[in-house]
Structure 1
């Protein structure tokens, strides 16, 4: 997928869910790097939710402060400073900040319809200890209208391949295009992983041949790759086909990757389930940033 195709699919800007947390700052850095390669503008989006209960504490707002206009001004100042600092650090990039009102998950979902890409920290302020991906992140990843990249503090790497998981589903083919473009932008190899789940011992079909199953899966991957090899002939492509648990093997592969890309739902997804089990596992457990791609 080249930049023109990506632009036709969605809006122009990279949207960053920002609340001043450590993970949000890492997501912003990732988005700025992406903008440096693509030339897209970056917009920080802080969603300000009023909660009228005792003990309310808003992200970035001093403890003990009741939500009022001074609290909002404090939030606006936080976003303004973050955008100004980012623009100063990355001359040539357009960086803006904006404060929105409403439930964070819903507002970010709505705003994603006008974005090319949405970057989120895995947990913002208010996340529970031990919860690897916050509820807002999971909800937005499941419902966003554009690709969502989830970034966690300490997991960003600048080396290693771009890894993409494919299974022949429509969303995985979109993920493949997204991954090829990112590998080309970064001038790094692309690793395409096709993991097929072998039948259980009690349910092996008559005449089942694992080698034939692997060969069939590889042929499907090569067919899907044919157009991208022509579009990006300089991208080194490594195809890996193997039986196993897709989520477990993709999590393991993420240890060596700088970005891992998956479709929002694969062939095993249940109708009505917006985020598949493999995508959910990677959002929670991957060792590198994860991009979840879906049809708009």
Structure 2
């Protein structure tokens, strides 16, 4: 296992296939291996247990073999399509959110589709989404089927509010922009009404100054990356969803303050995940090399 590995939450659904394609693109670009992780909760009564798997009663060895064959075929097909990318598959038992959180400690990136079936049913709706994005030990990328196909170009967009999580997100976004050879668009959402009638020009200048310091070191480290910093009036979710229209990737921290407070704990985060028109990366912490 490697902290550079890309793990894909895979359940055989159409959205999981889109997430896998995105992960393969990322792996081919970065030289990382890919692991398909199929996670589901076995039922203790007769019922459906997974895509392409006949109903059974746990423990059902035949159903288990069907799942393993499904994952084996998916991994083999992915490897055949991208021969330069090492691809393998694993089957895990347990609550999907908990298992994915645990597996994320072994990876450099976790990639999920926005919808699934079987063990991933409702994966990114409600409490499961909060658990995966708020507690993963590596960045999580959520790929929407209706946004992935058009997200092959454009800038990398990152929301920054000065919180520790948003600064981690900024670093992740800069590195992705450098790898993609794409421009970086750094946004700070500002709601004028929250300033109690402060002078708009002075408030905007103060917000813009708050972006200059964290950007300075990244400009020095990656001088070849075109970086544009903007203070945009409006609600954070609306600002970022709008920016996603021509973006390659939108990056946010898992928890912010000010304009990004609760970004992935309430309605704002749900809006971004559900309505962004390109893949969304959520950064809570960065992966650590094994042994640290």
- The reply to whether TM is greater than 0.5 is yes
Name stretches of at least 5 consecutive residues in structure 1 with no aligned partner: 1-9
- 1:264·1:276 contact (CA, 8 Å) conserved in 2? no
Of the structure 1 ranges 77-86 and 56-65, higher mean CA displacement relative to structure 2 is found in 56-65
State whether structure 2 residue 153 is matched by structure 1 residue 159. yes
- 2:249·2:281 contact (CA, 8 Å) conserved in 1? yes
Matched position secondary structure for 2:108: strand
State whether structure 2 residue 77 is matched by structure 1 residue 85. yes
1:113 Cα deviation after fit: 1.1
Partner of 1:11: 3
- 2:53·2:67 contact (CA, 8 Å) conserved in 1? no
Name stretches of at least 5 consecutive residues in structure 2 with no aligned partner: 287-292
How many pairs does the alignment contain? 280
Partner of 1:28: 20
Partner of 2:240: 250
Partner of 2:174: 180
C-alpha distance in structure 2 between counterparts of 1:90 and 1:295, whole Å:
29
Match of 1:197 among 183, 191, 205: 191
1:270 Cα deviation after fit: 7.0
TM-score w.r.t. structure 2 length?
0.88
Partner of 1:41: 33
1:168 Cα deviation after fit: 0.6
C-alpha distance in structure 1 between counterparts of 2:52 and 2:73, whole Å:
15
Partner of 1:72: 64
- 2:78·2:87 contact (CA, 8 Å) conserved in 1? yes
State whether structure 2 residue 277 is matched by structure 1 residue 287. yes
Matched position secondary structure for 1:163: strand
State whether structure 2 residue 203 is matched by structure 1 residue 213. yes
Match of 1:134 among 110, 125, 144: 125
Matched position secondary structure for 2:177: helix
Match of 1:262 among 252, 264, 273: 252
Matched position secondary structure for 1:155: helix
Matched position secondary structure for 1:281: helix
1:23 Cα deviation after fit: 0.7
Matched position secondary structure for 1:154: helix
Question: Which deviations, in whole Å up to 9, do the C-alpha atoms of 1:55-107 show, x marking residues without a partner?
Answer: x2122134544451111111101111111111111122111100111111111
Closer, same or farther: CA 14–194 of 1 in aligned 2, 3 Å: same
**CA RMSD after TM alignment:** 2.4
Match of 1:59 among 32, 41, 50: 50
1:188 Cα deviation after fit: 1.1
1:281 Cα deviation after fit: 2.3
1:127 Cα deviation after fit: 9.3
C-alpha distance in structure 1 between counterparts of 2:217 and 2:98, whole Å:
36
Partner of 2:290: none
Question: Which deviations, in whole Å up to 9, do the C-alpha atoms of 1:223-269 show, x marking residues without a partner?
Answer: 11111111111111122112211111111111111110000111147
1:295 Cα deviation after fit: 2.8
- 1:255·1:287 contact (CA, 8 Å) conserved in 2? yes
Partner of 2:289: none
Question: Which deviations, in whole Å up to 9, do the C-alpha atoms of 1:161-204 show, x marking residues without a partner?
Answer: 1110111111001101101111111111111111112235xx72
